């Protein structure tokens, strides 16, 4: 049981780090590696200066929903460390998984509205942060279930 507790704690830390990266990094939508868009900024690489030039994303209702849900997922996963183990932690992890699922699903279904004034969408594709958010969903739910299962064994 001690190994299972160490495993689920490590899984918790890994998913928290992945959630934070998915929320803050610049790669939810990518065009040819020289332009990308995330939840907060639209960026393009300037070959002349060798730097990324970023501007704030145009706020749409769908983008705000994704932003709020991803921040909530990070908060739920972080808060679960504060509580005692097991039920509270497990429920927070499951809620984090559900909010990340909702955010990724909204972005999947409404990316045309979210990225409406940017380059042609057919020239771009989903970036690694988008996939990272999807990978977090089953890991968060799994860690939540394991925490609750550990409570039953106590």
pTM (two decimals): 0.89
Phi and psi for 53 in degrees, rounded to 5? Answer: -105, 120
Q: Check: CB of residue 74 under 8 Å from CB of residue 66.
A: no
pLDDT tens per residue across span 18-34: 999 999 988 899 988 78
pLDDT tens per residue across span 30-88: 988 788 988 999 888 888 888 989 888 888 899 999 999 999 999 999 998 887 767 88
CB atoms within 10 A of CB 3: 7
Torsion angle, CA of 144/145/149/154, rounded to 10 degrees? 0
CB atoms within 10 A of CB 48: 5
């Amino acid at each position: 049981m001690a190994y299972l507790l160490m495993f689920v704690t490590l899984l918790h830390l890994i998913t928290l780090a992945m959630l934070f990266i998915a929320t803050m990094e610049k790669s939810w939508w990518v065009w040819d590696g020289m332009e990308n868009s995330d939840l907060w900024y639209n960026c393009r690489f300037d070959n002349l200066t060798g730097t990324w030039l970023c501007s704030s994303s145009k706020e749409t209702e769908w983008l705000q929903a994704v932003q709020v849900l991803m921040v909530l997922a990070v908060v739920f996963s972080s808060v679960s460390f504060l509580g005692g183990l097991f039920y509270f932690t497990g429920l927070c992890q499951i809620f984090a998984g559900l909010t990340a699922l909702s955010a990724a699903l909204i972005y999947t279904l409404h990316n045309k509205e979210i990225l409406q004034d940017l380059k042609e969408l057919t020239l771009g594709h989903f970036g690694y942060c988008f996939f990272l958010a999807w990978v977090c969903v089953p890991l968060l739910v799994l860690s939540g279930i394991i925490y609750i299962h550990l409570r039953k064994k106590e």
